[in-house]
Amino acid sequence: MKRPSRAGLLVLLAFSIPVIVEFRTVLSMLGVEVSSEIYLGVSISLVVLAAVAILLLPENRKGNPTRA
């Protein structure tokens, strides 16, 4: 998998914010009450962990990656 650029990470962050907000709305429609502090803490942690995991992907090297 090719590592995204900084602009790509910014786009992913921009798309993740509405998803986080709307997921809380869906939870409340289903009757699940979650406090704001816990929900925001968990969602921000997941976004940060995903960004770090994406940044830790190796850079795309030339050649066939399946050959040693």
pLDDT tens-digit series, residues 8-57: 778 888 888 898 889 888 989 999 988 888 888 998 898 888 888 877 77
Q: In three state form, how does the secondary structure of 9-22 look?
A: HHHHHHHHHHHHHH
What pLDDT was estimated at residue 17? 86
What pLDDT was estimated at residue 65? 58
Q: Please give the residue range of the domain that contains residue 33.
A: 6-55
Q: Is 23 within the bounds of a domain? A: yes
Q: Is 42 within the bounds of a domain? A: yes
What pLDDT was estimated at residue 1? 62
What pLDDT was estimated at residue 30? 94
Number of domains observed in the structure of the chain: 1
Joined tokens for residue 37:
């502090």
Q: Is 38 within the bounds of a domain? A: yes
- Directed axis angle between helix 36-55 and helix 6-29, to 10°? 150
CA distance 9 to 29: 30
Q: Is 64 within the bounds of a domain? A: no
Contact between residue 1 and residue 57 where contact means Cβ atoms under 8 Å apart: yes
